[in-house]
Structure 1
Amino acid sequence: MSELSQLTPQPLWDIFANICAIPHPSYHEEALATHILQWAQGKGLFAERDQVGNILIRKPATPGYENRRPVAMQAHLDMVPQKNSDTTHNFTQDPIQPWIDGEWVKARGTTLGADNGIGMASALAVLADDSVEHGPLEVLLTMTEETGMEGAFGLQPGWLQSEILINTDSEEEGEIYMGCAGGVDFKTQLPLSRETVPAGYHKVRVALTGLRGGHSGGDIHLGLGNANKLLARFLADFCATLDIRLLDINGGTLRNAIPREAFAILALPREDVDTLRAQARAYLAMIESELAAVEKKTVLDVSDSQHDGQALTKACGDRLIALLHAMPNGVIRMSDDVKGVVETSLNVGVVSMDADKAEIRCLIRSLIDSGKLQVEGMLHALGRLAGATTVAKGSYPGWKPDANSPVMHVVRDTYRQLFNKTPNIQVIHAGLECGLFKKPYPDMDMVSIGPTITGPHSPDEQVHIASVGQYWTLLTALLKAIPIKA
């Protein structure tokens, strides 16, 4: 039995423990989807999947609530697979190992998947708990949200019967979200030329590790260190006077996660190795000072390498380092309309190399289309200067705030009655699927709520136990408070 079985509310925590036990990173959600479908059918509920794999489950209204406006609760099936470098874990085969640490539930060395597993568990718990009073109810679970919102893109009109949608993918108790940023993936590829490492050169591995990482939307304003950018800065500035030859550079694993680690293989004259180590110590001291408020465990290590590949030519290596160093990152502009919210941002998420090309993958987010286009233009221009090819793809719309949303007012009033305080009405810089749902269901009234989750998309992810109870109280009261059909 899971350690989480001692927590309340039940069965939410038991269902979440079962979700953790079934591997479900992006593109590997099939086992979990099959389990949920069979679970729902075993309870006698209508349950089916669409052409892209999304799951729809329907539960009839509680007696006496048949005339309420129909509601869909929505979550996504996949989770972000991130782990510490010293953790052995295969996300496609091994279960997540949740554990209780005081007021929080965490995972052992990996992402927890509370994003969006807690939201999914809450929707399934409503289906399982006949004491929860509600009108006609649907649960929509979408595929592959974290790597491109593929389930939301594939959602067809006419499948859902609901008039209201409650998205469960928010990550701050006490906040109601009524809008979010749109986004677009951006890829830069630089062709490489290689040559034999010069005679007498010594090979080293430079490893920048220990950064916190985080969500490239919800955490982008925190000023966290980006390992790809910090390593490029070291190579461009502190190594500028050394005759280094670059053999390999890589960092980050997902375009929507702030990279925590980055690595480079260098060759340089043997007599300069001690200088490189001294430069690394000086650089580490500098960034520790600059990022003291947000990064406490940064490590920059230089060790010998046995890499047997060719090096980039000097000109090619310098061009790649300059390209990565010059690439913008982080907050581009704050919103004038929504105070305290990021309008446009960029995350330099993944850097990788093979024999003949280097690839940089980014995620651009913005509340406005022109903001996305501005950053796309910057990256296209930078690519032209570097002789790289660039492509933007997978653009998805933001969710435009509606200050007159009826369901938002119901959530706000319900929250006030329950907790005797007013929740914050927010627009989130992270991407939610609601903007995409508006295309097939333009008249659907939407809102997003959730418990407090910190460190999503990183192994530091944790969910606050008490906030899950508050979220459950709000969710169940909200379902009961949904008004009758007009």
Structure 2
Amino acid sequence: MAALSALYPQPLWQWFEQICAIPHPSKHEQALSKHIQDWAGNLGLNVVEDKVGNLIIKKPATPGMENRKPVVIQAHLDMVPQKNADKVHDFTKDPIEAYVDGDWVTANGTTLGADNGIGMASALAILGSSEIKHGPLEVLLTIDEEAGMTGAFGLEPGMLEAEILINTDSEQEGEIYMGCAGGVDAEFSVPVSWQSVAADSKAVTLSLSGLKGGHSGVNIHLGRGNANKLLARFLVAEAQELQLQLSELAGGSLRNAIPREAAVTLCLPASKVDLLQQKIKVFEQLAQTELAAVEPAIKFSLREATLPEQVMTAVSQQALLNLLHACPNGVMRMSDDVPGVTETSLNMGVISTNENQVQVLCLIRSLIDSGREHVETMLASLAQLAGAEVTFSGAYPGWKPDPDSAVMKIVNDTYQDIYHKQPVIMVIHAGLECGLFKKPYPEMDMVSIGPTIRYPHGPDEMVNIETVGQYWQLLLAVLERIPPKN
């Protein structure tokens, strides 16, 4: 990673190197948090770790700016742990292997963690500088944003003094975000009964790989393949003719990432294995044709497996496959208020097989509560038809746009003055933490900016080097322009 520290702006990239070197997937942010706390303490900064593990670091204003409105720069400590199937990597122990690839920084076979490591690095670089001008400054680093927004849910009133919050979790330079979608997790529990394996059966594992995956909010409108849905589609079509008996079904790893891979272990009569191979080739060609523009590397593979002790009963299997095949997925509706932005979506993120049930974890996102509630009722109806249960948890609110936001105007005007062009004011179909911050801090004025990040939540994640510099320049200029207190 030596080349990273030579990039502009150096203080930011030097911090990003440190962040990549310390494992910090969701639920495992402690080592990075301690590193930051020790560093800030050595600088004499005020550091507080709240009850849930968020870090709040306070720095006095630079001379002459003591009367400015206090600002908090906010990022999240955790990153999404996704890797390619052939990559040996333990996200709780191994560093991220980041490197420069032309105009981008990416990682070797894993997610990079630019989401939200670049934003975190910018905040820490500002804290460490004696030259950057700013008023009273706070940095808020939340935990577990990617896996449940635990930190944002747990933030209490009175911890922050700031009147303005700058969220750094946006992913497109030239766009300023003033609102975001809310969301809720939906988990199906599909009961499963088991039976003995039929005589003269052969066990095989059918795998689907090569999909791009990506962020289930930012990338959901791109029409990428969902490995869980594609595999269910094949099984529904062919299970009866091939006398397939499912033993284990698994796909995806995170509810907020479009699943790139899925696999099923199944049994079938030995005499039908050749026909299965033929049908896989036909379906693979069909999928490649349908998704040619977005999934050029889609691939099915079949390998021999150890004969399992039991398989699903026909009734259980049919109910499961019907639910998986019928479950909606992808864009449900585009927004009328914000052209080009998804209003409501659903991602079937994770399938796992347990002793007595198959669990299916989905994430519903919507800019409006009624849109989210509509999808919830659809899933409840589907569960009832399939004889399954569905529970909804972890609901978080959207961030309602404020057209009169003062900080939005400052960022907008500053961007135009620096780059001589109009930025795009946007609402993002992803879950920023701003909506949750509004509960303990209802009067706080908020905005979200960031560099261009491609394919977050997947191993193709990359961040554009030039836009990191542009984001940095905008952030510093905005801090200088924060007005005096009323």
TM-score of the two chains, using structure 1 as the length reference: 0.99
Per-residue deviation, 1:242: 1.8
**Aligned ranges for residues 257-406 of structure 1 at < 5 Å?**
257-406=257-406
The CA distance in 2 between the partners of 1:32 and 1:307, in whole Å, is: 44
Report the residue type matching 1:373 in the other structure. E
Q: Does 1:166 align with 2:166?
A: yes
Q: Decide whether the 8 Å contact of 2:142 with 2:152 is kept in 1.
A: yes
Q: Decide whether the 8 Å contact of 1:265 with 1:307 is kept in 2.
A: no
1:373-399 CA distance string (max 9 Å, x none)? 111111111111111111001100000
Q: Decide whether the 8 Å contact of 1:53 with 1:142 is kept in 2.
A: yes
Partner of 1:225: 225
The CA distance in 1 between the partners of 2:22 and 2:100, in whole Å, is: 19
Report the residue type matching 1:50 in the other structure. D
Report the residue type matching 2:130 in the other structure. D
Structure-2 change in CA distance of 1:307 and 1:83 (3 Å): farther
Partner of 1:433: 433
Per-residue deviation, 1:309: 3.0
Q: Decide whether the 8 Å contact of 1:56 with 1:141 is kept in 2.
A: yes
1:45-93 CA distance string (max 9 Å, x none)? 1111111111001111111111111100000000000000000000001
The CA distance in 2 between the partners of 1:444 and 1:367, in whole Å, is: 20
Report the residue type matching 1:276 in the other structure. L
Q: Decide whether the 8 Å contact of 1:103 with 1:464 is kept in 2.
A: yes
Q: Decide whether the 8 Å contact of 2:47 with 2:58 is kept in 1.
A: yes
Partner of 1:241: 241
Per-residue deviation, 1:241: 2.1
Report the residue type matching 1:23 in the other structure. P
Partner of 1:459: 459
The CA distance in 2 between the partners of 1:256 and 1:61, in whole Å, is: 38
Q: Decide whether the 8 Å contact of 2:164 with 2:446 is kept in 1.
A: yes
The CA distance in 1 between the partners of 2:176 and 2:41, in whole Å, is: 32
Q: Decide whether the 8 Å contact of 1:106 with 1:462 is kept in 2.
A: yes
Moved more, 310-319 or 393-402: 310-319
Q: Decide whether the 8 Å contact of 1:246 with 1:267 is kept in 2.
A: yes
Q: Number of residues paired by the alignment?
A: 486
Q: Give the secondary structure class of the aligned counterpart of 1:36.
A: helix
1:201-249 CA distance string (max 9 Å, x none)? 1111100000000000000000010000000001012444221101110
Q: Give the secondary structure class of the aligned counterpart of 2:242.
A: coil
The CA distance in 1 between the partners of 2:63 and 2:320, in whole Å, is: 65
The CA distance in 1 between the partners of 2:467 and 2:127, in whole Å, is: 21
Q: Decide whether the 8 Å contact of 2:210 with 2:298 is kept in 1.
A: yes
The CA distance in 2 between the partners of 1:427 and 1:200, in whole Å, is: 57
Q: Give the secondary structure class of the aligned counterpart of 1:138.
A: strand
Partner of 1:4: 4
**Aligned ranges for residues 72-83 of structure 1 at < 5 Å?**
72-83=72-83
Report the residue type matching 1:165 in the other structure. L
The CA distance in 2 between the partners of 1:333 and 1:278, in whole Å, is: 37
The CA distance in 1 between the partners of 2:388 and 2:375, in whole Å, is: 16
Q: Decide whether the 8 Å contact of 1:365 with 1:372 is kept in 2.
A: yes
Q: Does 1:187 align with 2:187?
A: yes
Per-residue deviation, 1:307: 4.0
Per-residue deviation, 1:3: 2.7
Q: Decide whether the 8 Å contact of 1:170 with 1:451 is kept in 2.
A: yes
Q: Decide whether the 8 Å contact of 1:239 with 1:279 is kept in 2.
A: no
Partner of 1:250: 250
RMSD, aligned CA: 0.8
Report the residue type matching 2:196 in the other structure. T
Partner of 2:197: 197
Per-residue deviation, 1:317: 1.1
The CA distance in 1 between the partners of 2:375 and 2:42, in whole Å, is: 49
The CA distance in 1 between the partners of 2:218 and 2:166, in whole Å, is: 19
The CA distance in 2 between the partners of 1:97 and 1:265, in whole Å, is: 33
Q: Give the secondary structure class of the aligned counterpart of 1:417.
A: helix
Per-residue deviation, 1:306: 1.2
Q: Give the secondary structure class of the aligned counterpart of 1:241.
A: helix
Q: Give the secondary structure class of the aligned counterpart of 2:198.
A: coil
Report the residue type matching 1:60 in the other structure. P
Per-residue deviation, 1:271: 1.2
Q: Decide whether the 8 Å contact of 1:238 with 1:283 is kept in 2.
A: no
Q: Decide whether the 8 Å contact of 1:327 with 1:382 is kept in 2.
A: yes
Partner of 1:140: 140
Q: Give the secondary structure class of the aligned counterpart of 1:27.
A: coil
Q: Give the secondary structure class of the aligned counterpart of 1:214.
A: coil
The CA distance in 1 between the partners of 2:400 and 2:308, in whole Å, is: 53
Partner of 1:125: 125
The CA distance in 2 between the partners of 1:268 and 1:307, in whole Å, is: 10
Per-residue deviation, 1:145: 0.5
1:305-345 CA distance string (max 9 Å, x none)? 11423100112112111111111000001111111111100
1:394-452 CA distance string (max 9 Å, x none)? 10000000111000000000000000001000000000000000000000000000000
Q: Give the secondary structure class of the aligned counterpart of 2:446.
A: strand
Q: Decide whether the 8 Å contact of 2:247 with 2:308 is kept in 1.
A: no
Report the residue type matching 2:424 in the other structure. N
Partner of 2:416: 416
Partner of 2:48: 48
The CA distance in 2 between the partners of 1:476 and 1:172, in whole Å, is: 18
Report the residue type matching 1:20 in the other structure. C
The CA distance in 2 between the partners of 1:305 and 1:42, in whole Å, is: 56
Q: Decide whether the 8 Å contact of 1:2 with 1:14 is kept in 2.
A: no
1:242-273 CA distance string (max 9 Å, x none)? 21101110000000000000000111111111
Q: Give the secondary structure class of the aligned counterpart of 1:190.
A: strand
Report the residue type matching 1:426 in the other structure. M
The CA distance in 2 between the partners of 1:322 and 1:397, in whole Å, is: 31
Q: Give the secondary structure class of the aligned counterpart of 1:58.
A: strand
Point out where structure 1 has 5 or more consecutive residues left out of the alignment: none
TM-score of the two chains, using structure 2 as the length reference: 0.99
Report the residue type matching 2:449 in the other structure. I
Report the residue type matching 1:347 in the other structure. N
The CA distance in 2 between the partners of 1:442 and 1:307, in whole Å, is: 58
The CA distance in 2 between the partners of 1:445 and 1:171, in whole Å, is: 20
Per-residue deviation, 1:2: 2.9
1:86-134 CA distance string (max 9 Å, x none)? 0000000111110010001011110000000000000000111221111
Per-residue deviation, 1:6: 1.5
